[in-house]
Structure 1
Amino acid sequence: MSPRRSYDQYCSAARALDVVGDRWTLLIVRELLAGPRRYTDLHADLPGVSTDVLASRLKDMERDGVTTRRRLPPPAAAYVYELTGRGRELLPVIQALGSWGEAELGERRPTDAVRAHWFALPLLRSLNGEGLVEVRLEEGHFHLYAGAEDGPVYGDGPAPREPDARLVLDAGTCASLARGELSLGDAVRAGRVTVTGDGAPAKGLRDA
C-alpha cells in the first residue's frame, strides 16, 4: 500500500483531494455507486486503467475509509468492493462534476469508450420524485433509484422489480441530455423519450 501523499495545506478542499484526487479514484466511486462490484467488473468498466493502478487505488480507498471489501458467501465466494457511508457521500460531488463537465463533453470521439450505465447519473439529475426507474437503450438497459438515500444509486440491466417508471430512448437523445443540450422534460414532450409507469418519477415527467 502506497503512503498517502498530501498537499500539506490546512484547507478542507486540499484535504479532500488528498483522499480522492488521484487519477481514477472518482471514476471508481462512480462505478461503486451501482453497489458492490467485483474487481474484474470494475476493470471491465474502467477501460484504460491498468490492473496495478486499479489494485493500488482500491487499497488506498479502503485505507482511507471510502470503500470496504468483503467476501460473498458460497456459492459465489468472491470478493466485492463497495462504498462506505463516507464514500456514498461523494454522490453530490460526482453529480456536481458531471454538471460542470457537460460543457466539455462535446461529440463522442473515435477513441472514447462508452457504457450504457454512464448515462445513469446525468439522467438521475433530471428526475423528480422517488422510485425505481428502468432505462432502455439499444446499447443496454440500466435502472436508477431516484431519491435513494442509502444503498445503490443505479444498476446494470433491467429493474429487479416492476419499476415506478420506464424510459425508452436512443443513445443520441441520451448524449444530448448528458451534454446539457436537452432537458429530460423537453425530450419527453418532443417524443424522444417514451415514459410508462404510474410512480412519482413517471408522473413528474408527464406533468413537466
Structure 2
Amino acid sequence: MSPRRSYDQYCSAARALDLVGDRWTLLIVRELLAGPRRYTDLHADLPGVSTDVLASRLKDMERDGLSTRRRLPPPGAAYVYELTRQGRDLLPVLQALGEWGGPELGERRPTDAVRAHWFALPLLRELEGEAGLVEVRLDEGVFHLHPGAGDGPVYGDGPAPGEPDARLVTDAGTCTALARGELGLGEAVRDGRVEVTGDGAVAKALREA
C-alpha cells in the first residue's frame, strides 16, 4: 500500500482532498452509499476504471478510515466493501458537488455511460424532508431511495425491498432536468413527467405539491 500523498497545506479543504481528491475516490463513495458492495459490482458500475486503480483506491479508503472490507457468511462467502461513518458523512459533499455540476451535464455524449441509480442523489435532494421508501423506474433500470435514512444506505439498485411508500415512473430526460436544477420534482409531477403511485406519506406529499 502506497503512503498517502498530501498537499502539505494547513487547510481543512486541502486535508479533505488528501483523502478524497484522487481520481475515482468520490465515485466509489457514490456507489458505496448504496450499502455493502462486492468488488465485481463496483467494477461493473464504475465503467472506465481499471482493476488495478479500483483495488488501489479501495485499499487507500480502508487505510484512511473511509471504508471497511468484510467477508459475508456462507453461502455468500464473498468480500464486500462498505462505508464507515466518516465515509457516509460525504453524502452532503457529493450532493453539493452534483448540484454544482448539474449544469455541466449538457447533452449526453455517445461515449457517456449511464446507470439508472446515478440519478439517486439528485432525487434524494428533491425529497429532502421526506422519509420513507421510494422506488424509481426508468427505461434504463430500477432503483430505490431511502430519504430520511439515518446511518444506513441512502439508495439501492433494483426494486424496493418490500412495499414502497411511493413508486415513481419517469425517464432519464426528466431526471437530467432535475439534476440540472431546471425542474423541481413537484413541478415534474404536476406536468405529468413523473407518475406517482402509492399510499404512503411520500406519495401523498408529491401528489399535493
Query: If the TM-score is normalised by the length of the shorter chain, which range does it land in?
Result: over 0.9
Q: Residue 100 of structure 1 corresponds to which residue in structure 2? A: 100
Q: What CA distance in whole angstroms lies between the structure 2 residues aligned with 1:51 and 1:40?
A: 10
For structure 1, list consecutive stretches of 5 or more residues without a partner in the other structure: none
Aligned residue type for 1:141: V
Give the secondary structure class of the aligned counterpart of 1:131.
coil
Query: Residue 146 of structure 1 aligns to a residue in which SS?
Result: coil
Question: 1:28 and 1:142 mapped to 2: Cα distance?
Answer: 18
**Which residue of structure 2 aligns with residue 136 of structure 1?**
137
Structure 2, gaps ≥5 residues long: none
Alignment pair present for 1:74 and 2:66: no
TM-score relative to the length of structure 1: 0.98
User: Could you say which residue in structure 2 is the equivalent of 1:200?
Assistant: 201
Aligned residue type for 1:72: L
TM-score, normalised relative to structure 2: 0.97
Could you tell me which amino acid in structure 1 is paired with residue 150 of structure 2?
E
Instruction: Give the stretch that moved more between structures: 170-179 or 115-124.
Output: 170-179
CA apart distance, 1:117: 0.4
- Return the letter of the residue paired with 2:132: G
Alignment of 1:135-154 (within 5 A): 135-154=136-155
Please report how far the alpha carbon of residue 198 of structure 1 lies from its aligned counterpart in structure 2 after TM superposition: 2.0
Report the count of equivalent residues. 208
Which stretch of the first structure deviates more once superposed, 154-163 or 196-205? 196-205
For residues 84 and 183 of structure 1, the distance between their equivalents in structure 2, rounded to whole angstroms, comes to: 32
- Per the alignment, residue 21 of structure 1 pairs with 21
Letter in 2 for 1:135: V
- In the alignment, what sits opposite 1:110? 110
Distance in 2 between residues matched to 1:165 and 1:157, nearest whole Å: 15
Question: Deviations for 1:133-179, whole angstroms, at most 9, x for unmatched residues?
Answer: 00011111100001111111100111001001110112221222122
> Following superposition, which runs of at least 4 residues in structure 1 exceed 3 angstroms of deviation?
none
Query: What's 1:55 paired with?
Result: 55
Deviation at 1:200, TM superposition (A): 2.2
